[in-house]
Homo-oligomer: A and B are copies of this chain.
């Protein structure tokens, strides 16, 4: 028998599903898969509607899981499904709920793990966690964190997510929500964050943060020569900044320099808390390579206590961009098996 785990990524707009083996190979994948209906900003949005959407979502997800297993069995009848791991924004590992996720259609607290478990009573491991935590577990089980006991995973997407590994396991904290490094204060009373807070790391070091920095610098220098000066705010993205930097654009280069300086300063705080062996960077902004890694490393070292210097590795994630979310979620299953062995 070949053991496999189901990995499910519940995202703000889509839910993706995959079947993954112990080495992280994706045997089956559907993505984008199950549309996650957007929560309307509507005063008439009530619990009944939320319950209906929830039930539809669970039914659809259940049928997709069955299909996935069948598809993989057709190729290899010898597979044994060990469990289901799910990653979701505001996912809570302790009780399997998704709680007050701003971009999901459920109102309040929904116990997704319990609802799915009810449809697969034969499976021992049906677990759910925060999406960035799932990515950290993916790095631990299949990626560059294999064999490490202490590291931090930073996911640089629209926002900045994080998952913290201490003593070989995720830090969940008292309530299951630990690992929100994106919402630590970088600049007191600084930029308004998506969460409403001020000066949070995520408002500076993320795709959105990079975009904001472009326009701050254009405003600062009144730079009309940069090719970025011809792009409207709503059309700017990290790729355009990267392309401009490659052509030597001074604004684009300073954007990455600043982003790295900020990220390094903030990660020094994370090191002062946790003293990890490594910090992995994952996601779109991390794809900018040395433009991000070099200033981040320099700034990290500059801001560290002497006892921490020249110790912490800043590494690119070894998870593949396309499948990291489902692969990370599937890692939950192997981790649970390990804990229970």
Contact = CB atoms under 8 A, between A and B. Distances in A.
Interface of A: 90, 99-100, 148-150, 164, 166-167, 169, 171-181, 183-188, 195-197, 265-266, 268-270, 272-277, 303, 305-308, 311-312
A83 to B, nearest CB: 22
A183 B272 contact: yes
Which has the most chain B C-beta neighbours within 10 Å: A149, A171, A268, A274?
A274
A197 B275 contact: no
Contacts of A179: 273, 275
Contacts of A150: 173-174, 178
A268 B184 CA distance: 7
Given A166-B166, A273-B184, A90 B307 contact: yes
A270 B272 CA distance: 10
A173 B274 contact: yes
Contacts of A186: 188
27 contacts: A99-B307, A150-B173, A150-B174, A167-B167, A167-B169, A173-B275, A174-B277, A174-B311, A175-B308, A176-B275, A177-B308, A178-B274, A179-B275, A180-B272, A180-B275, A180-B307, A180-B308, A181-B272, A183-B272, A184-B272, A184-B273, A185-B265, A185-B266, A185-B269, A185-B303, A188-B265, A196-B306
